[in-house]
Amino acid sequence: MKLLTIGNSFADNSTRYIKEIFADRGVDLYVSRANIGGCSLERHWNGAANKIPDYPNGKTLDEMIEADVWDYVTIQQASHFSWMVGTYYPYADNLIAYIKEKAPTAEILIQETWAYRADNERLCNEYKISQSQMFNLLKENYIDLALKYGFRILPVGEAFRIMQLETGDKTGELTRNPDGPSHANTLGEYIGGMVWYSVMTGGSVDGIAYAPDGVNRDYVPAAKKAVKAAVAMYNK
């Protein structure tokens, strides 16, 4: 199975342990990452349109996407724009048309990113919205985009939200770091990888024995429960 991500650091987060998770279930996965930290749909599209060598090893997106025949190509919005609907278009439309032209046999998947921690300074002081408001807005934006094209969603943000609610985690600290954009911590990256595994393979996460070093095993059952609930909610 071959995967190309066109994203940013949140795609890096969700794919950090993805090869180990897939291997644990006997699935061979090749991953190529056309990710740029903080990169928006607009920047990805402009890079593609103008053949800007912004990607790993000075490559263009053309070079990244034409390097192989992909089973899956993923897209997502930058976290700081994810809750603002006006930032998605026309860039998502243009990027999707580009991917369909360059990788016509690939399934395009949309990663639903996550809301920042409730104690995040950007959220409180700059955006002036709550964590719940950010999540509900980004969720609506990703669902609208997926429905427009009939794409499936990788509901990582929903899995984080469910994990937070089910464990009584008030801020989201179980899955997110206390940094600027609330990057996923090791448990969050593990959850993200399991979401991607479940959507991409259709397999159950129950049988996954692997867990990264640093993950508190006491939280693994709740993490798997959150993954299953999120995937079931979005991909009926």
Predicted confidence pLDDT, tens digits, the chain (236 residues): 999 999 999 999 999 999 999 999 999 999 999 999 999 999 999 999 999 999 988 999 999 999 999 999 999 999 999 999 999 999 999 999 999 999 999 999 999 999 999 999 999 899 999 999 999 999 999 999 999 999 999 999 999 999 999 999 999 999 999 998 899 999 999 999 999 999 999 999 999 999 999 999 999 999 999 999 999 999 77
Nearest to 211 by CA among 77, 24, 14: 24
Alpha-carbon gap, residue 84 to 88, rounded angstroms: 8
For the chain, the domain total comes to: 1
Give CA 234 to chain center in angstroms: 14
Residue 213's domain spans which residues? 2-234
Provide the pLDDT for residue 235.
79
Provide the pLDDT for residue 159.
99
Provide the pLDDT for residue 166.
97
Q: What CATH number should be reported for the domain holding residue 142?
A: 3.40.50.1110
Provide the pLDDT for residue 57.
86
